[in-house]
């Protein structure tokens, strides 16, 4: 008996696209068309982040079928969970400024997150026309000493110069602006991308309301640069997800510690109380900055704690 031929499923056109914005389960993805496409994610999967490459099933809205493997990712952490907020980056622009009161803890942690993901990082000291910049520069010197480049810019007072200084770093890469609320990330994005008109905020209003002016991470192509040059603006925030790091990854993520890797008496030295610790010796001799060492100890403590009590 002849079997009825099974209907052949029509080959589904699937598009490769990059997520440029994520709002809960709704996304915008750029597939090379004139405008990014609205899309949703199939099932309950919600760990799709800005910068992810995805396979889309066209439709209205389109559906994200699959998230392609990530080169790297950054996590945001709160008391309950950690969540990826940006993926597939090449450069981290860690923005700081003399006003509002600089958060060097956040700067240090962002640099650790970058190194741990093999991501090049740059410190951008914005609002450099403010007199308090000189004092901040002295506090940032230990970061320069361990090799992080630092650019002094003024996005509001001298946007053209800021753009000139930044553009050479942004060619054919995905660069993420990160830093505390009010340091001027969106003002920098507006200078780099004419016509963007990203909302920028009055600091006192933002701080009073406890709200950030930018509320979600966005990715934009940078006009005038080759394809593949993208800038990501993110909301200012306090806590970086570092708890997924191993002790060894953390030790390699601080260049001045990584340099002394293997020099301690014990190969698995945590650089706390162990005798014959090359890192503590270097701190005592002033070759490693005491604040940086203290930051290492704080992060170490946190990740050991988190590994004992994992979050959901």
Give the interface with ligand GTP as residue ranges (CB under 6 A).
126-127, 129-130, 154-157, 181-187, 200-203, 206, 212-214, 235-236
Pairing of strands 82-87, 73-77: antiparallel
C-alpha–C-alpha distance, residues 192 and 223, integer Å: 8
Shortest reach from residue 144's CB to Mg ion, in Å: 26
Bridge partners, 232 (sequence order): 176, 219
Residue 202 binds which one of ligand GTP, Mg ion, Zn ion, none, with CB within 5 to 8 A depending on kind? ligand GTP
Is the four-CA dihedral 198, 72, 303, 258 of positive or negative sign?
negative
- Binders of Mg ion among 88-127, rule CB under 5 A? none
CB of 110 to ligand GTP, least distance (A): 13
CA atoms of 236 and 217, how far apart (whole Å): 10
Q: Tell me if the bond preceding 140 is cis, omega within 30° of 0.
A: no
Q: Which residues of 271-286 are buried (b: 16+ CB within 10 A; e: fewer)?
A: beeeeebbbbebbeee
Nearer to ligand GTP, 14 or 156 (CB): 156
User: In this structure, are residues 229 and 172 in contact, taking their beta carbons and an 8 Å threshold?
Assistant: yes
Q: In Å, how far are 165, 187, 244 from 198, measured between CA atoms?
A: 21, 8, 32
Contacts with Zn ion, residue ranges (CB under 5 A)? 264, 269, 271, 277, 279
Residue 182 binding result from Zn ion, Mg ion, ligand GTP, none, given CB thresholds of 5 to 8 Å by partner type: ligand GTP
168: Cα separation from own chain's centroid = 19
* 214 forms part of the interface with Mg ion (CB under 5 A): yes
Comparing CB distances to Zn ion, the nearer of 24 and 275 is 275
Q: Which of 186, 190, 217, 229 binds Mg ion (CB under 5 A)?
A: 186
Judged by beta carbon, residue 51 or residue 235, the one nearer ligand GTP is 235
Contact between 190 and Mg ion per CB under 5 A: no
Query: 19 touches which of Zn ion, Mg ion, ligand GTP, none (CB within 5 to 8 A by kind)?
Result: none
In this chain, which residue has its C-beta nearest to ligand GTP?
236
Q: Which does 271 bind (CB under 5 to 8 A by kind): ligand GTP, Zn ion, Mg ion, none?
A: Zn ion
Residue 288 burial (10 A CB sphere; 0-12, 13-18, 19+): buried
- To ligand GTP, the closest distance from the beta carbon of 235 in angstroms equals 5
Q: Quick one: 49 or 180, whose CB is closer to Mg ion?
A: 180
Which of the stretches 112-120, 128-136, 141-149, 179-187 binds Mg ion when contact is defined by CB under 5 A? 179-187
**Using CB under 5 A, which of the segments 14-22, 169-177, 210-218, 263-271 binds Mg ion?**
210-218
Name residue 233's beta-bridge partners: 177, 218
Beta bridge partners of 53: 18
CB of 111 to ligand GTP, least distance (A): 17
Q: Which one of 96, 126, 133, 213 is in contact with Mg ion (CB under 5 A)? A: 213
Residue ranges of alpha helices (H) inside the chain are 104-116, 133-145, 159-170, 185-192, 203-209, 247-253, 255-258, 278-284, 290-308
Q: What residues make contact with Mg ion under the rule CB under 5 A?
A: 185-186, 213-214
């Amino acid at each position: 008996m002849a079997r009825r031929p099974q209907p052949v499923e029509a080959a589904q056109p699937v598009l490769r696209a990059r997520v440029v914005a994520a709002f809960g389960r709704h996304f915008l993805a750029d597939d090379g068309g004139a405008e990014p496409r609205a899309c949703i994610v199939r099932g309950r999967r919600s760990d799709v982040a800005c910068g992810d490459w995805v396979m889309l099933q066209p439709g209205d809205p389109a559906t994200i079928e699959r998230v392609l493997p990530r080169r790297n990712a950054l996590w945001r952490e709160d008391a309950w969970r950690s969540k990826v907020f940006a993926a597939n980056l090449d450069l981290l622009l860690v923005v700081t400024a003399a006003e509002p009161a600089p958060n060097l803890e956040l700067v240090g942690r962002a640099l650790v997150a970058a190194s741990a993901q093999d991501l090049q990082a740059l410190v951008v000291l914005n609002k450099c026309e403010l007199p308090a910049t000189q004092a901040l520069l002295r506090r940032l010197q230990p970061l320069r000493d361990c090799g992080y480049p630092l650019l002094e810019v003024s996005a509001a007072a001298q946007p053209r110069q800021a753009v000139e200084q930044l553009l050479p770093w942004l060619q054919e890469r995905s660069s993420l602006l990160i830093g505390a609320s009010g340091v001027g990330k969106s003002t920098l994005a507006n200078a780099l991308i004419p016509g963007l008109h990203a909302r920028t905020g009055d600091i006192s209003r933002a701080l009073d309301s406890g709200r950030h002016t930018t509320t979600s991470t966005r990715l934009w192509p940078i006009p005038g640069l080759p394809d593949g040059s993208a800038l990501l603006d993110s909301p200012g925030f306090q806590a970086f997800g570092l708890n997924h790091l191993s002790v060894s990854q953390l030790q390699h993520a601080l260049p001045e510690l990584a340099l002394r890797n293997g020099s301690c008496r014990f190969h698995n030295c945590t650089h706390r109380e162990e005798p014959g610790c090359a890192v503590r010796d270097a701190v005592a001799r002033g070759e490693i900055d005491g604040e940086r060492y203290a930051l290492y100890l704080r992060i170490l403590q946190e990740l050991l704690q988190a590994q004992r009590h994992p979050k959901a």
